[in-house]
Structure 1
Amino acid sequence: MRTPRALAAGGTGSAVRDAALWAALAGVGVFAYQERGADGSPLLALVLPLLILAVAVPGSRKRPGAAVFLANAVCALGLADPIATASPYLAALAVLTYLLGVRSARTGAALLLFGSCAAVDLALCVLLGVGPVYWFYALSMIPSALLLPWLAGRYRRARLALVRGGWERARGLEQRQRFVAEQARLRERTRIAADMHDSLGHELSLIALRAGALELSPTLSGQDRADLAVLRAAVSDAVGHLRDTIGVVREGSDGPGGCDSSGPQADPTASSVEPVEELVARVRESGVTVDLRREGAAGALSPLVDRTAYRVVQESLTNAIKHAPGAAVRIRIVHRGARTEVRVANSAPPAGPAPAPVPAPAGARDSGHQGLTGLHERVRLIGGTLHAAPRRGGFEVLATLPDQVGPRQPGTAEGFPDDTGTASESARRLAAARRSTRRRFAVAIAAPAGLGLLFLGSAAYLAHQLTACVLRPADFADLRPGQERTELARLLPDREFRYVPDAVKALPAPPGTVCAYYRSNGSLLDQADVYRLCYAGSRLAAKDVLPGRPLTTP
């Protein structure tokens, strides 16, 4: 938060910069006024423009659009009074338009402002009946001072935003790095929880199942049954404590299953997992009917894939023992091509008496589906798919696994699509920045091209205005007073000179005549005499050569 002293210092600095900018723009105007010989009204040519700029320059900080409109009004003064030095203030208009592009991001409002300024300038040209040079000034020079600096200001604004965004991105990356370090500890706790769920929970479930089966044996004495009941109760309590422990360890993990991308990959026992056949043999010794079949030739499986297949079978058997006691379990492992399919299905539990329910192992379905959720995460991380759903009164788990896992398969790199198919935030921002850059580049090329065409059109119009009203000196010499107007038509140009200076029009003409004016040459820069032809009715009464004055630029 900025202190009052800092705010005061910032306000003072802004005022100094505004004063310096106004002084520079005013200096241009004063110099041009003196170069023109200080002719004309100093109020209209110098004082009024400087007062308007004194308001527009500081006002551009909060109202840049209004400042541009005021600067355009200063330039329009040259249309109202040809003596006023309006051209030097095009620099002020260009500077304030540049500041508009830097300080405002509203493109539509800026274009509307430019259209309004152009409409005001053109309407003023029509009302005042100005000459071709002033039309050229209104159609070419003022639009150029409005559009080109504004595009440069927009580029400057975009560049500043890019630099500012880069620093914000750097700060975000630093915060993310600290967050990743914190998550490393949570992932280790999650890995321990996953191992406890997959291994210890399974073993405890088998012990409880064996104790329940022995408790129903008719050859045991009452004391033996009581001891077995105490044993099964102790195992049940141990399973409950295990579930509570895993809940604490998994607190703050990355997902509901607690198996993030670092869990399976960081497992140090990935290459020492026991074969599925040994797992099935131990389950059969507990009294569970399990049918295991393999189909196809197993290729060189990745240790991570082999361990995942083991976990699929282990989790499925644990769920079957827990939720369908006495049901038969069928396991099919099919190796086909470069993929392995693991299908574990249990039938509906048989009717009749069954052992007392065994408490679910840590992370099983009744504790929030964490077992299957974690298993689903394991399978997804190696590029496989997992489907688990009821089937024919029982339950089926189907996992399809690749035989080999690529080095980039488990995760997604920044800037590439993730597992949901959507691009990351940085990729979206990069794409948006590229689109914006292409648009700005196209505008930067199209705007000068459009203004160039506007210049050419304005210059062509001005040249047509000046050449279509030129009466050649030789033809003027052939004209004789008393000739009919129809006889002179073949020597006269197509149109009359409409922009005769007032001082020339004020020269006395023969009484009772109507005069037409023509230029002696079509040059814009050189001095051009004006030919005056005065008619009495339909006959030429007099012809005069009036000294013209150079067409002054506004």
Structure 2
Amino acid sequence: MRAGWTWLAAPELWPGRRTAGEVVLALVLGIMAAGSEELLGGEGPRLAVVGIAAVVLSLLRRRMPGTVLAVTAALTPLLSGFAPLLMLVGWSAGRRIVGAGRALAMFSVAFVLFAGVTLQDSWSQQAPMTRLLLTTLYFLATTVVPGLASRYWTQRRTLLHALQERNAQLLWERELVAGQARLRERQRIAQDMHDSLGHQLALISVHTGALEVDPELTPRQREAVGVLRGASVTAMHELREVVGILRDGVEAPAPVDDSGLVGRGTAGIVGLVESARTAGNTVELRSAGEERPLAAAADHAAYRIVQEALTNAYKHAPGASISVELRYEPDSFVVEIVSAAAPAPAPGEVVSGGQGLTGLRERARLVGGMVHAGPADGGGFRVAGVLPYGVVEAAPFVAAEDDFRQQSPKAATVNGLPPMDWTVSARELAGGKERSRAGGIAMGCGIGVALVLVLVVAGGFALAFLVGSMSQGMIDPGEYESVKIGSGEDVVRDRLPNGDTITLMGLDGKGPKEPEGSECLVLMSSDVGDSFETEPVFRFCFKGGKLIEKKSYEVSR
């Protein structure tokens, strides 16, 4: 049973709700077909056969769309209850028949069967071409229009999915290329730093080491040289770490000093202050609030803020007093470094790249914080940083308009990598499921409205055509009385309508026996019959070029 249902549902895997929906739809179509057949006089086993046939065809329309379309089109003229099924089958066949040529062929075969069965008894009656026209309009409105709409919707959805995949692939490839370019540039920078700065720092370390053991130095000078040597060694270690990060893209573990404290976090700020004091600066360190841990990136950013601020104080205000304050606020960590005004101008030219504070601001922004730098009250300079405790997904201290990426929170990822940007095209191509479902509902409603409009227009044209053609099959009783038996056939036919109208269908052969060898013209009377079940008609029979008989009688429709 399960294998059979899987075969019916192929090539899709239906969830439980979809399966229940298909079963309910098939049952509704079966009930509609059987009910319509009962209204037309059917009874007994015929009703059951019609209902079961509708259910089976509804379930088979996905697996055999072309065959079901042809069978349904052939049965619909005979079973009026199959009209809703024909619309559903046309929709399903339009999207499931592979190839435009094959779809055109199957719809053509279905139309031939539909029209052939409808007109099988019309060629012996009046107005067969009129009935063919109405049959064609009906088939176009109920079968071809749903099929075309379904095929367009399916092709549009397939194209949209292909564009989504292509867009995601292109974004991933662009990110990959950009990543490789960044890696090559980082490797080049790392090599330059290693070759230039590494060589200079090594020379400084060697010369200061040799100078430190010079017996002619005083203890004070030897201590200062030791500080220089330690600073150069520390700089070489940090340079090695930075070069490793640039080459590998992974930050090495922070070094641990002799006291067991991490050297490049908030715990390392004490070491920075001690180094500044050893170099001859007056540095005061204060801490306020209950100490709380920071995220690794924010912890490192706090260390770098203090380091850069102290470095600037050394260069621009040598000998000035410096205060470093660490405040653990309830919602954020604040580090503030204030240097007093320089007692004397800096000797010589101050070498500065001008990128230190800019780098601090960018580093703080990346972890969700901010850095402010500017003149302090009473002279001097102040650097303050505000950093979050936890890991944040967005930078709360950065204005939305300052975020140059403007990434959507729902951006799709490919192979774990996010797209580089979120343009209008990408936003259209990667819409959420809610918008896709709403678009499908809107398109379905639009197709339904268009179908109703087509049916209304076709019905209006058909009604106007029928009203206009009634004059070709109707005369009043006075005209009937004025026609004399024995008159020439051409004279009589010129006076009477030609009878070429669909309204006369079913009137032939229901009156008295026609004269042998004669050709008769049956017309309706403009008068209303005695009951709604009968129709008054006039018959004129011709033979040998003359009117040989005329009769007035009523027939049952």
Alignment TM class, shorter chain as reference: 0.3 to 0.5
TM-score with structure 2 setting the length: 0.47
Q: Between the two structures, name the one with larger relative contact order (CA 8 Å, sep ≥ 6).
A: 1
